[in-house]
Structure 1
Amino acid sequence: MDESADAPLTAEIAAHAPLLRVLRLTRNVTRAAQELGIPQPTASRRLAALGEHLGAPVIVPEGRGIRLTRAGELLAEAADRALDVLASGVRQAREEIDPQRGHVVLGFLHLLGRSLVPRLLRDFRVAYPHARFSLVQGSRQDIVERLRAGTIDLALVAPPPADPDVEAVTLAEEELFVSVPAEHRFAGRGHVRMTDLADEDFVLLEHGYGLRTITDDLCRRAGFTPAIAFEGQESDTVRGLVAAGLGIALLPKFEPGTPAGVAEVPLAPRVTRAIGLVWPVRHPLPPAVAAFRDFVGDRAQPVT
């Protein structure tokens, strides 16, 4: 197939890719034109020109709006991807000129926002005072999915995923404790075993959180399924429910000190989780992102 025959259409799509992208979302030529700041007749002429180059219409009327034809959908999808790639290239080019003013989109677990993330950002900005960060919080599953989708650059999660599409370095091994109400019978113990917890009510994070996966796995290995009293999305909420006497939970040690109403009891044998910085391997990282990755890597050990 002679690819040069498609060159005129490719050039036309490149020129009007933003229109296709917006039209794919709005399904309305007038609104798409308004969002792009162009007259509606101009948008209509551009769409008609695309159809002429293609040899078939890219839109057809539907109700009070329009819908993309199958061919139009294919072109809009391609335009959408191309604009994302171009935006990434522009970003890398700008940061290549001035990496000190780069932008890093960092995803992390809610629990890590208490001390680890602020400490890393503070120390990094000593060397890169003009670096900008966008911070995205969520569950481990959510953060890893966003990393794979390319909407975040780097992720701090626990534990790092075993995935050939990403690389990781471990920042720390964090010990987990059994958080119980202060008046609980386990509160004064030097340690407890997982088998001791079989008859307890648990307060758990929802599925998709790393601590939930670890807790379920530890209970399974101990030969029981945890009785779930409550499920939450943040560790502080879980601790609050524990303090209210509504159950127990497996959590990292609270910093800077044990919260009121809660006792933190070590597990025997000791249980830890790895906290890792993760990044995609499919494309080169922008300079500022790579600089932050390397900064963290200097303080970490490779995942094995």
Structure 2
Amino acid sequence: MDLKSLKTFHRIVALGSFNRAAEELNYAQSTVTMQIQKLEAELGITLIERGRTFQLTEAGRLFHEQSTGIVKEMERLQGRMSDWMLGETGELRLGAVEPLASAMLPRLLQEFLTAYPKIGIAVEIGSTPLLGERLLRGELDLAVCSRPVIGEGLYFEPLFSEELIFLLPEGHPLSVLERIAFRDLRDHRILLTAKNCPYRHKVEMLVGEACGSPLNSMEISSMAAMKHYAACGLGLALVPHSLLDPLPAGTLVREVKDARISVTFGLLCRASDVPLKLALGRLNDFLKERLRQDAVPAPMI
């Protein structure tokens, strides 16, 4: 059944006239007549009595009543598909690492969804390697993460770097120092992120070179939770600035005395999806702009 003819039929009924329906739809009257004739031929019934006054047949009244819901659903579907083509609707799966997932992403997504209320977003929090694997399996569309070890099939766009600083509990022996060198960590417990975290490797390498191995360490898989472990006196941690807003009660921060160390964050997607389009392209462009604007500045490394 032709949807255009069905919609024309409903406009004729609503306006009570072939002429007014033709004017509203910007059709020639002959086109409107032809569409109704085609619809009647497909159904094998007469829908409208031909005469001076407009009147539906009994079959026409029944057909109008039963097809109203179909027309409304098709109009809604056409609207949704139009929004989809414009990138204003869709269901997106976004991955994120800590601390960005907790510190920056909620506010940015609230702003984005206010501008694009028809777009749905599901957020998954995990490590950079895990998010990369899920992207390759098609289980995520985009990820906000640290610089990965790029493998085949992934594309990473660096956006900003955050300098790492020491977070330690009040009363820690190293709190008397204005700045902490890696060699000062010898015999002190350091809190580390999960083994597959890219910048844990950087921290382990620098601390290991200064203090030797094995390190006195404790693994905390959640970056967001790490500051609370430090606040409880379980050790000190080398963390990005964004993790410390707000600074947990009972903790102090100290700068790194050695060469500055930072971690680079950006957007990760499947290489085959570049350039990103539709709703995913809108989200990518929005995050790219806002993450660059709002990030704590540090040199790219």
What TM-score range do you get, normalising by the shorter chain? 0.5 to 0.7
> Do the aligned residues in 2 keep the contact of 1:176 with 1:272 (CA within 8 Å)?
yes
Amino acid at match of 1:145: E
**In 2, Cα distance between equivalents of 1:135 and 1:231:** 24
2:267 is aligned, of 277, 280, 293, to 277
Say whether 1:227 aligns with 2:218: no
Map of 1:257 onto structure 2: 246
1:1-304 equivalences in 2 (<5 Å):
96-97=84-85, 99-222=87-210, 224-225=212-213, 227-253=215-241, 254-268=243-257, 269-283=259-273, 285-299=276-290, 300=292
Q: Secondary structure at the match of 1:107?
A: strand
**In 2, Cα distance between equivalents of 1:142 and 1:209:** 9
The normalised TM-score by structure 2 is: 0.62
Map of 1:39 onto structure 2: none
**In 1, Cα distance between equivalents of 2:286 and 2:123:** 17
**In 1, Cα distance between equivalents of 2:188 and 2:175:** 13
**In 1, Cα distance between equivalents of 2:214 and 2:203:** 9
Residues 257 and 108 of structure 1: is their aligned pair in 2 closer, same or farther, counting only changes over 3 Å?
same
Unaligned runs of 5+ in 2: 1-80, 294-299
**In 1, Cα distance between equivalents of 2:277 and 2:140:** 12
Per-residue displacement from partner, 1:103-156 (whole Å, max 9, x unpaired)? 211001132122221132123234322211010111222111111221101111
Residues 226 and 184 of structure 1: is their aligned pair in 2 closer, same or farther, counting only changes over 3 Å?
farther
Per-residue displacement from partner, 1:32-77 (whole Å, max 9, x unpaired)? xxxxxxxxxxxxxxxxxxxxxxxxxxxxxxxxxxxxxxxxxxxxxx
**In 1, Cα distance between equivalents of 2:168 and 2:220:** 16
The normalised TM-score by structure 1 is: 0.62
Residues 236 and 168 of structure 1: is their aligned pair in 2 closer, same or farther, counting only changes over 3 Å?
closer
Taking only aligned residues, the RMSD between alpha carbons, in angstroms, comes to 2.7
Unaligned runs of 5+ in 1: 1-92
Per-residue displacement from partner, 1:145-179 (whole Å, max 9, x unpaired)? 11122110111111244335222222321111112
Amino acid at match of 1:261: G
Residues 97 and 232 of structure 1: is their aligned pair in 2 closer, same or farther, counting only changes over 3 Å?
same
Q: Secondary structure at the match of 2:172?
A: coil
**In 2, Cα distance between equivalents of 1:112 and 1:267:** 22
**In 2, Cα distance between equivalents of 1:298 and 1:105:** 19
Identity %: 27
> Do the aligned residues in 1 keep the contact of 2:85 with 2:278 (CA within 8 Å)?
no
Amino acid at match of 2:262: T
Paired residues, what number? 212
